A and B are shown apart, each in its own frame.
Chain A
């Protein structure tokens, strides 16, 4: 009924050459540099906010982290659909990699938001804030996804199960969004850049923010790429070990 799980260990290459590759990654290096530059620029070369003071600095980390986590989680959902359709194990590795990186950025977004909330709202956590609650449940779903992956030995089954979970989670998010929307009064700051009309940020702040967005997306993709390469090498190693045992 369904296409069998496709293994993609390239047979034409020397196995040990694949496993022992140099680890310097220029893409990753650019990502790290962009992040460092973002910190320097946002702290030293961007004026503090007139109302929120230094607390507003978190804006340059919090929102890019949040957008990067959505990119990563979006990749997981898309590649899961691709896996259920084509049964290609590369799609599965990419969903695994981006889910793990997505969890890192979700954790970053949640924790930076909590610090900001402590200063501006006067509370570490408020349940009636829609985005906070939604992101928290998204965090739980991604965590469950990773635990599920860890609990299954068989590769094909792991790929199918986790893809099913990711696709169902994509259906779940609108429902959580709606129910939290009804539940909450909403005290989260509204978008100041992506909104009808001119951005409400000063030009300097806008440049820092856009730079932050680019830096975080770069860093996120660099991490996913590195994590994906790790998954490829791990699977090659596992194949080599089992074929070694067979001999």
Chain B
């Protein structure tokens, strides 16, 4: 008979993430709606400016971050909304998994969900906005990953809080967007500079803010998460 043991923090986190991703993979509803939303928004924003005054390539970084933010909110909404049906969260809480693992697992699931959306959205942006695919794209991808980590770290915690309130879906953007400000401001400034062909060193300060934000809020939100669960 094999011995039954509780998994370690990271292993348990991965199990929680895999559970969420399996549910998503079987239904694919949230993924497709986030994806269609993102690409649709890209196309609509193209017509929000006069093309003869502002060249599309100059708009691209701004559109990228607006679309990323709102598709992230769509994914985050679902993260704990999923657990509300049949009180799935109770099953998670009685399982031999620490609360920190539940948070990290949810965050990893959200990060992978959002990354999957961006894998399609970013090339679509390059095509629709005529952005030259060069060496800069490696840097932009790196910035996108750093920004997504920060957004998901904060957003996962607020998603857990928002589902338990009366306003639910309305509250998540109101809580999260102010926290996205330093991330979006830094990420948008870095990507705009890099896409304009300026050296990355010019944006070193913003890069430090982005990395610092990720570290501080991963730790802070992991510690804060147990407070958002019912006792």
Contacts and interface: CB of A to CB of B under 8 A. Distances in A.
B227 A148 contact: no
A161 B228 contact: yes
Contacts of A2: 226-227, 231
Interface of B is mostly: helix
Interface string B214-231: 001100110010111011
A175 interface: yes
Contacts of A175: 182, 209, 212-213, 216
Nearest to A147: B174
B181 interface: yes
A178 B185 CA distance: 11
A75 interface: no
A183 B171 contact: no
Contact of A179 (B164, B181, B231): B181
A179 B185 contact: yes
B115 interface: no
A182 B204 CA distance: 11
B165 A152 contact: yes
Band of interface residues on A:
20 to 34
Nearest to A4: B231
A140 B178 contact: yes
A92 to B, nearest CB: 13
B217 A148 contact: no
A121 interface: no
B161 A168 contact: no
B206 A1 contact: no
Contact of B221 (A84, A153, A168): A168
A160 interface: yes
Given A160-B228, A168-B220, A182-B205, A144 B185 contact: no
Interface in A135-171: 137, 140-141, 143-144, 147-148, 151-153, 156-157, 160-161, 163-165, 167-169, 171
Contacts of B166: 151-153
Contact of B217 (A156, A161, A164, A171): A171
Given A148-B171, A171-B216, 9 more contacts: A140-B177, A141-B178, A144-B175, A147-B171, A153-B166, A157-B230, A160-B228, A164-B228, A183-B185
Given A147-B174, A165-B175, A176-B182, A182 B231 contact: no
Among the interface residues A84, A153, A175, which one has the most CB atoms of the partner chain B within 10 A?
A175
Given A137-B181, A172-B179, A144 B174 contact: yes
